Structure 1
Amino acid sequence: MFNATAWSSAGSLPNAQRLFPTVAPIQSIFQQRTVGGAAAPIAARTFLTTGQVPATSSVGFADTLDGAIRTPYSHQASLQISHDVGQGIALSAGYLFLGARQVPGHTGNLNAFQTGVLASGKPILGGRTYPEVGDMFVQTNTGRSNYHGATFEAEKRFANGIGFHGSYTLSRVRNNVDSLANLADLPEGQDINGETALSRQDVRHRFTLTLLTEIPSRVPAIRGVKLSGLVSVESGRPFNIFAGRDFNLDGNPNSDRPALLERNAYQGPAYASLDFRVAREVAVSGRARIEVLIDVFNLFDRVNVKDINTVWGSIDYPGTPPPATLGFGTPRDVFNPRQVQLQFGAKVKF
């Protein structure tokens, strides 16, 4: 150190003046000083010098990560039975369970306490235990989900110019958190288990059928043409209904639901689509061949809704109709309309 002899808890070195005759001994321990720049804010100085958080400060909707957050894990179980009925046809039935645990999610407002009750019976969380801290939401291991699904399948291996695979799944997914994606995924109150309901990923019924056929050689004009199709049909997915305001005063206006509705209480419209392909190989020379493919997605140009406006605009459900300006139940986004693609591919056999 410059302009100092040395300092320790025992004091200065006894022979410092003889070793460093031009250096004056210090009279006290070192003190940290800020040189230049603006002084620290009053709030910071109050906290550093007294340890007290100033009453005028407010964090305001803090969303912090739990320092002790743990790694999620899952339990899985499955059972499947298959039977070959002959002529290349197989039938199967299966069951799948998937339980996710320690899923990252948000807590309720940890700094809020109940100050009243809404007409629906839900608590009003208008008080703050530490007003100077503001709203406190934490990301931690609050989530859990359970999936149960039964699947029935029929399959025919491609032979004699035809093959197919069809499946039907009956399933249910329940959880208490869907994601950390946006503020609407925060719990409505402080009861995390009370948020357990159908997941936005719940598809109760799903049916798919793929079919592949090839025109036989006895039809000269179009022999070798391959036709394939994919049929997908799903029941509607759940959507959350929002009140549109912070009626329970927990500091998050995006999670309030009308009345006593549970999460994801709105049933969305079903999904259906048919994709179709025509393919044919054309010989060029020798072993070289060119494959021409025409793909048509959503052949019948069905409008399949992806997202819906579900802001009700009132705490009363269903007694008070939503304002027409909110467009409750109207689509906000849709899947792709019919699309046609032409592709070329080259094959060389050795």
Structure 2
Amino acid sequence: MPASPSTARAINDRLALQLLQQHGPLTATQLKTLTGLSRPTVADLVERLQGAGLIHVVGESGAVRRGPNAKLYGIVADRAHLAALDVRTGSVSVVVADLLGATLAEATLPIADGTGTGPAVEQAVALLERTAREAGSVPLHSVGIGAPGLIDPATGELRDSSGLPAWHRGLVRVLQQRLPATVLVENETNLAAVAEHRAGAALDRETFVLIWLGQGIGAAVMLDGKLRQGASGGAGEIGFLPVPGVAGLPSAVDCEGGFFSLAGSAAVCELAAHHGIELPGGVASEAAAVAAVRAAPAADERGERFLNELADRLTLGAAAVVSVLDPGCVLLAGAVGEAGGAPLAARVEERLALMSPLRTEVRAGSLGDGAVLRGALLTARDAAQDALFAPGG
């Protein structure tokens, strides 16, 4: 059954907007070539999108040529502002961007241990409001939030998780109540996978698993270009994966004894100290683990032994994931994964080839710790564009 004229117009408009987003400003002739539409149809949709305030003339394609086809049309970037939040155990980072994703303002605020739920939520909300004001007077249309913990796939809400601050859930609820904006929350590791898939090390992969290496441990599963969260939102909770080489077993409320005990930042710091790699400040932390991994190549045989044993540990978790999903590609992401880079990824790939018959490429993530904010911003941008680019949006 052929599409109605109004449906056909909506499809053509959305296609044109997607091309303008992907390629930047285009002339009507270029839109005609890329869409395969007729010249009159392109002229109509350009007029329609201009009238809706979604595109405008941003320049001309050449100094000599004049006329309608020489005009360059681009998306009106300040039609809406977007915000992204990276909510950590002890801090909140915020970025505000325009509709095309260009950063307008950003800020980070530490949240001290022991801060009550109410004060912590108010500090985080005030940070977002202040950053949005710095970005300009355009109201926020969509807000993406990356947080540790499980997201209920049925409700989209952050579930109560032991070991995480209560203010995390409070912040999400308050933002959803106060803001006249669409507020979306997703697990931080899943957002990192979205970012690496759209703008990082997995651009050429529709199926892969991202293993997040930082203060905590997690994984994100991307199959056929789609995130797979699992029945309860817990797909990828590999910190709880039982592995050899640790004392005891994990429990439903504590991942000690699981893969976390081998590859979390505290375990990486302990391993580095065992091999004589000095930790900055002598305190185990994510920053210290990153410093140790970065310092290893210059530490002669001690550094080699440290990286080799770390690769042995990471391979245990990677092999379990590969044996179940056969993703063809594993990304070592997060601050520690980025610090290890290609040398650490190559070590894990070598060991994985010996342990598993399933051929798997192992890569280092390219976006590091900033992947969560990037993924949250992409999620907010998708939501805004879905709403604004829809018929009548």
- TM-score normalised by length of structure 1: 0.27
User: Which has a greater percent of helix?
Assistant: 2
User: Which has a greater percent of strand?
Assistant: 1
Which structure has the larger Rg over C-alpha atoms? Answer: 1
- TM-score normalised by length of structure 2: 0.24
Higher relative contact order (CA 8 A, sep 6+): 2
